[in-house]
């Protein structure tokens, strides 16, 4: 059970806004804010290098916290400035050749697609898009049929940026494991929203961000790489943290996942990320997921009642994100008018999701996204605002 009163008391932002842009960046708890500010203050007091040394146990703890979150080992974790760069560091490490194929799904994220396409254009490798099934989620049977000896990698977005869909990642993992093809799972929107266990998911690489459902600081992200794969993946960029310069001029790449990191890092953010993960674990990710589904379900039902409002999410399992259109009112106007009432939502454009919005002819839509700290009043404020606009 979630102790809503305590959680809202921990969240200064709820006094100011009905924050329904958690898929963008969630409101952090004060514990995260305090940890970040405290470290920044310490850096100013005694020096950045000195503060990092003094507080090494705090930022080292972040690896343990993330390992617990994912049911992984701390050596398999890299802390990177965002989910995109984390994903890139793994993806660009695959040396693709013209006969190789990479499979992706219709939920693919814009930045991931752009990286896939850049590499495909450079190497001659092919990207094939796995179709959706009748529910609008990745068609696992079609994926299984498409997995042949030429497939080097499967890229799957667990929860897309543009909708409430939760892709059946564990089913995909079962199929890719059986085929012996690595699965790169983008868990940017799922981390902190729903339970993630890399063994159950059967993925080989997983990327995530701090600022969304984990409620961590902006400018933080992470990468998990299965231990057995780490040494096979040479990072596309190396520095003196990722590798060691040897006296004879050669270099040796470190053997843990920190080979994907770089030397200079945002220590305050790294500490804050660990505190955010601890907070999520203390609340309980199962309880978080249950409450998110309950709130999002109620929000969907309330919006569905309104004339002129069309819900756009597809999928068998739907999570925090509720995407909709208000007839005759463009999404930017909806967002701005809601902002005047201190209700935060965001706008999703086809450019973020060409294989989904683009293919469905949706130019843009309003994205609302709940988190476990939202209360009934937050939902009412959104629904009231939309009701007014839909008239």
Ligand X SMILES: Cc1ncc(COP(=O)(O)O)c(C=O)c1O
Q: Which residues bind ligand X (CB under 6 A)?
A: 82-84, 109, 111, 157, 160-161, 186, 188-189, 209, 221
Give the whole-angstrom CA distance, residue 368 versus residue 19. Answer: 9
User: At its nearest, how many Å lie between ligand X and the CB of residue 8?
Assistant: 25
Nearest C-alpha neighbor of 329 from the set 379, 388, 389: 389
Q: How far apart are CA 279 and CA 3, in angstroms?
A: 13
The answer to whether the CB of 318 falls within 8 A of the CB of 165 is yes
CA dist list (Å): 129 to 92, 107, 120, 156, 177 = 19, 10, 13, 10, 19
Nearer to ligand X, 11 or 111 (CB): 111
Query: Of 11 and 220, which has the nearer Cβ to ligand X?
Result: 220
Instruction: Write out the two tokens for 141.
Output: 């049977």
What DSSP character marks residue 194? Answer: B
CB of 56 to ligand X, least distance (A): 25
Least distance in angstroms from the C-beta of 306 to ligand X: 26
* Nearer to ligand X among residue 191 and residue 389 (C-beta): 191
Least distance from ligand X to the Cβ atom of residue 109, Å: 4
Q: Which is nearer to ligand X, 109 or 254 (CB)?
A: 109
Contact 205, 229 (CB under 8 A): yes
Smallest separation (angstroms) from ligand X to the CB of 273: 12
Residue 43: alpha-carbon gap to chain centroid: 29
Dist. CA 384–CA 332, nearest whole Å: 17
Q: Which alpha helices (H) appear in 197-265, and where do they start and end?
A: 198-201, 227-230
- The CA–CA distances, whole Å, from 101 to 104, 147, 308, 337, 339 equal 10, 9, 43, 45, 44
Tokens of 33: 């804010």
Q: Report in angstroms how near the CB of residue 192 gets to ligand X at its nearest.
A: 12
Q: How far is the CB of 339 from ligand X (least distance, A)?
A: 19
């Amino acid at each position: 059970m979630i102790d809503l009163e305590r959680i809202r008391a921990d969240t200064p932002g709820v006094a100011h806004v009905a924050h329904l842009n958690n898929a963008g960046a969630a409101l952090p708890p004060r514990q995260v804010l305090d940890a970040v500010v405290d470290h920044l203050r310490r850096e100013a007091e005694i020096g950045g290098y000195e503060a990092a040394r003094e507080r090494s146990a705090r930022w080292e703890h972040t690896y343990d916290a993330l390992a617990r979150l994912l049911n992984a080992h701390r050596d398999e974790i890299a802390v990177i400035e965002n989910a995109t760069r984390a994903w890139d560091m793994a993806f660009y490490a695959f040396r693709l050749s013209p006969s190789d194929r990479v499979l992706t799904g219709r939920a693919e994220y814009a930045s991931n697609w752009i990286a896939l396409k850049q590499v495909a254009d450079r190497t001659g490798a092919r990207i094939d898009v796995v179709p959706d099934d009748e529910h609008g989620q990745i068609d696992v049977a079609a994926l299984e049929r498409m997995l042949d000896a030429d497939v080097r990698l499967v890229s799957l977005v667990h929860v897309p940026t543009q909708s409430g869909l939760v892709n059946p990642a564990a089913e995909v993992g079962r199929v890719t494991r059986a085929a012996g093809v690595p699965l790169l799972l983008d868990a940017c929107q799922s981390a902190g929203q729903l339970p993630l266990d890399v063994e159950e998911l059967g993925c080989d690489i997983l990327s995530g961000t701090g600022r969304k459902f984990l409620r961590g600081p902006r400018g933080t992200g992470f990468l998990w790489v299965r231990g057995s794969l780490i040494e096979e993946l040479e990072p596309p960029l190396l520095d003196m943290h990722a590798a060691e310069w040897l006296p004879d001029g050669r270099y040796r790449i470190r053997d843990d996942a920190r080979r994907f990191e770089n030397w200079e890092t945002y220590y305050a953010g790294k500490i804050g990320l660990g505190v955010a993960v601890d907070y999520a674990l203390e609340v309980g990710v199962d309880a978080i997921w249950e409450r998110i589904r309950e709130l999002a379900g109620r929000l969907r039902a309330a919006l569905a009642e309104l004339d002129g409002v069309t819900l756009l999410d597809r999928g068998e399992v739907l999570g925090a994100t509720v995407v909709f259109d208000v007839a005759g009112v463009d999404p930017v106007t909806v967002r701005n008018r809601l902002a005047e009432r201190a209700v935060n939502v965001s706008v999703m454009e086809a450019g973020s999701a060409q294989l989904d919005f683009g293919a469905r002819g949706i130019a843009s839509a309003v994205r609302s996204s709940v988190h476990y700290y939202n209360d009934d009043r937050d939902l009412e404020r959104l629904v009231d605002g939309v009701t007014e606009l839909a008239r």
